[in-house]
Chain A
């Protein structure tokens, strides 16, 4: 088989993109939602008090430790994630008790007591599907995600090679021209966001590098069971805290270490505090400095003796070049450093990337359909399968996410396994949408699903209004921008989807009948089955 370089690249682009396209779509959707993870968290926990940002981190730490001293005095380890900004809006405590059992709670700084919230997966569970998927063990998902990321990079690079007129067509979108329009849209979405897409895909691979290239570790550290642990211990040394002495000793007051940390990092600079073996002679207090203000570099850390209060070690933010490079890529990927404006840019780039995957998937079917309609030979089975999966995923997955939000509001508070059922609701809704896509004629399936999605999203603010007090009529006057923003965003997505449904409906109604025949009826699923 002899063919040009560009043809082989085009082939690779087509199939690398298609094969894991639906998985990539899920990764893009959940990853984009992840840029608003804590905002979604807060909407999904409407009982939570106002966020305690702009507080003095040292006094927040005192409040948390006071609670832990009282409630978990004989714990093995206490950790406090201190409220700082959107990334950590609350004082969050997690600990291991004397038996090593882990637990956690959030503290209302106004009362110094935990606040109870509904059992929910929140924005974090949604965001974690970005790299953990769901229902599958990590050993499988690591490989799936690595493979999908690798395919994505291949699709990016081959796409750039195949695209002949990157600069000439830079601003080009010709609407109403079938395949041409889909190609224009796919090109525009990919080219205009290329720096972001290359960064996000390459850094995604860096996230997965220990899964993608496990043998490199084995080559140096051996193949035995402990080899990976030895590697991680050496590559990412954690400040050693040692074993407990077994002799009880009073834990010092934290004012001293906190004052030292405050002197170094400022009043809002402490991001995390942990106490190892509280009440033991070998107690250690670790304080971590400002997090996520720059894409690069681990935060600095201070370690104090918990009995004497002596400063034992201070780790600076400096790292090796290799470590800093990795941190920079991971930091760019997560965008934790992004303030509101840059966060919006991340969000837009993520949405456009989602559109890039979706248009690529649709383009495959449009091309194949036109080719089949022209030659009137060949099996349409693959085409029908891809078309149905496209509808049920491109529209169906977002409907699933809307169902996740509905479940958050509608499941009773004492429902057993509530958080798990929120996720089940999402996947059940998605499965229903896939079934619907398989059962209905293609054009109808698109329109109907778009209308379902429009209703599912646009009604979220209403479901919120019927089940909580923090609805738009209250949140808008109160300037509660997290709740109002979420509701308005849902309304916006709903309206945009309704507009899309109207547009598709009108397109089909006004299309030239002959073309309509070839485009929509020629390959019905019934025909494909025979």
Chain B
């Protein structure tokens, strides 16, 4: 039992969700306004990388809490990861609605 292992599992879940969002055109544009559309093979690579990170998160959970409770905890971490991503994207979306202010800053 360590303190950092659950945090690693949580970060892996967040990172996995970030890659999943980057593989989606709408969110890719929000996160990387200057990047173009993602090609099909690149999208597949992003998604596999995302799934790998999520699987690693499951492994970290299982190592921390044992297989049975690890799975329970992992589902909770997926929720947290997706929620962090959703909040981030929503904040980006809200900022885009105020282009005037943004150009002043930039």
Does B89 lie at the interface of the complex (its beta carbon under 8 Å from any beta carbon of A)? Answer: yes
> In the bound complex, what is the Cα–Cα distance between A178 and B15 (angstroms)?
31
Are B85 and A346 neighbours in the complex by a CB distance under 8 Å? no
Pick the residue among B21, B65, B68, B69 that contacts A171 (CB under 8 A).
B21
Are B89 and A171 neighbours in the complex by a CB distance under 8 Å? yes
Does A295 lie at the interface of the complex (its beta carbon under 8 Å from any beta carbon of B)? Answer: yes
**Interface residues on chain A, number (Cβ under 8 Å):** 28
- Residues on the B chain within 8 Å of A335, using CB: 72
Does A294 lie at the interface of the complex (its beta carbon under 8 Å from any beta carbon of B)? Answer: yes
Q: Which residue of B lies closest to A339 (CB)?
A: B65
- Residues on the B chain within 8 Å of A193, using CB: 79
Are B79 and A173 neighbours in the complex by a CB distance under 8 Å? no
Does B100 lie at the interface of the complex (its beta carbon under 8 Å from any beta carbon of A)? Answer: no
Are A173 and B83 neighbours in the complex by a CB distance under 8 Å? no
Q: Is the interface of A mostly helix, strand, loop or mixed?
A: loop
- Residues on the A chain within 8 Å of B97, using CB: 176
Are B69 and A295 neighbours in the complex by a CB distance under 8 Å? yes
Does A146 lie at the interface of the complex (its beta carbon under 8 Å from any beta carbon of B)? Answer: no
- Residues on the A chain within 8 Å of B77, using CB: 345
Are A345 and B80 neighbours in the complex by a CB distance under 8 Å? yes
Cβ-Cβ contact count across A and B, 8 Å cutoff:
73
- Residues on the B chain within 8 Å of A237, using CB: none
Q: What is the 8 Å Cβ interface bit string for chain A, positions 465-483, against chain B (1 contact, 0 not)? A: 0000000000000000000
Are B76 and A175 neighbours in the complex by a CB distance under 8 Å? no
Does B73 lie at the interface of the complex (its beta carbon under 8 Å from any beta carbon of A)? Answer: yes
Are B80 and A348 neighbours in the complex by a CB distance under 8 Å? yes
> In the bound complex, what is the Cα–Cα distance between A22 and B86 (angstroms)?
27
Does B6 lie at the interface of the complex (its beta carbon under 8 Å from any beta carbon of A)? Answer: yes
- Residues on the B chain within 8 Å of A382, using CB: none
Q: What is the 8 Å Cβ interface bit string for chain B, positions 1-45, against chain A (1 contact, 0 not)? A: 000001000000000010011001011000000000000000000
- Residues on the A chain within 8 Å of B93, using CB: 173-175
- Residues on the B chain within 8 Å of A15, using CB: none
Are A192 and B76 neighbours in the complex by a CB distance under 8 Å? no
Q: What is the 8 Å Cβ interface bit string for chain B, positions 52-79, against chain A (1 contact, 0 not)? A: 0000000000000100110011011111
- Residues on the B chain within 8 Å of A274, using CB: none
**Given A337-B69, A342-B65, A342-B72, A171:B79 Cβ within 8 A:** no
Q: Which residue of B lies closest to A181 (CB)?
A: B90
- Residues on the B chain within 8 Å of A339, using CB: 65
- Residues on the B chain within 8 Å of A176, using CB: 94, 97
> In the bound complex, what is the Cα–Cα distance between A199 and B103 (angstroms)?
47
Are B27 and A348 neighbours in the complex by a CB distance under 8 Å? no
Q: Which residue of A lies closest to B7 (CB)?
A: A341
CB distance from B83 to the nearest CB of A (A): 6
Q: Which residue of B lies closest to A347 (CB)?
A: B76
Are B73 and A341 neighbours in the complex by a CB distance under 8 Å? yes
> In the bound complex, what is the Cα–Cα distance between A463 and B101 (angstroms)?
44
**Given A341-B6, A345-B80, A173:B75 Cβ within 8 A:** no
**Interface residues on chain B, number (Cβ under 8 Å):** 28
> In the bound complex, what is the Cα–Cα distance between A171 and B79 (angstroms)?
11
**Given A296-B68, A338-B69, A171:B80 Cβ within 8 A:** no
Does A393 lie at the interface of the complex (its beta carbon under 8 Å from any beta carbon of B)? Answer: no
Q: What is the 8 Å Cβ interface bit string for chain A, positions 148-173, against chain B (1 contact, 0 not)? A: 00000000000000000000101111
Pick the residue among B79, B85, B89 that contacts A348 (CB under 8 A).
B79
CB distance from B94 to the nearest CB of A (A): 6
> In the bound complex, what is the Cα–Cα distance between A195 and B87 (angstroms)?
20
- Residues on the B chain within 8 Å of A168, using CB: 24
> In the bound complex, what is the Cα–Cα distance between A176 and B98 (angstroms)?
12
CB distance from A164 to the nearest CB of B (A): 16
Are A188 and B86 neighbours in the complex by a CB distance under 8 Å? yes
Does A332 lie at the interface of the complex (its beta carbon under 8 Å from any beta carbon of B)? Answer: yes
CB distance from B76 to the nearest CB of A (A): 3
Pick the residue among B76, B86, B94 that contacts A345 (CB under 8 A).
B76
Are B68 and A294 neighbours in the complex by a CB distance under 8 Å? yes
Are A173 and B82 neighbours in the complex by a CB distance under 8 Å? no
Does A67 lie at the interface of the complex (its beta carbon under 8 Å from any beta carbon of B)? Answer: no
Q: Which residue of A lies closest to B81 (CB)?
A: A192
Are A173 and B86 neighbours in the complex by a CB distance under 8 Å? yes
Pick the residue among A173, A296, A341, A342 that contacts B90 (CB under 8 A).
A173
> In the bound complex, what is the Cα–Cα distance between A76 and B64 (angstroms)?
45
- Residues on the A chain within 8 Å of B75, using CB: 195-196
> In the bound complex, what is the Cα–Cα distance between A118 and B54 (angstroms)?
48
> In the bound complex, what is the Cα–Cα distance between A338 and B66 (angstroms)?
12
Residues of B within 8 A of A (CB): 6, 17, 20-21, 24, 26-27, 65, 68-69, 72-73, 75-80, 82-83, 85-87, 89-90, 93-94, 97
22 A-B pairs with C-beta separation under 8 A:
A170-B20, A170-B24, A170-B82, A171-B21, A171-B82, A171-B89, A173-B93, A174-B90, A188-B86, A192-B82, A192-B83, A195-B78, A195-B79, A196-B79, A294-B68, A294-B69, A295-B68, A296-B68, A338-B69, A342-B73, A345-B77, A348-B76
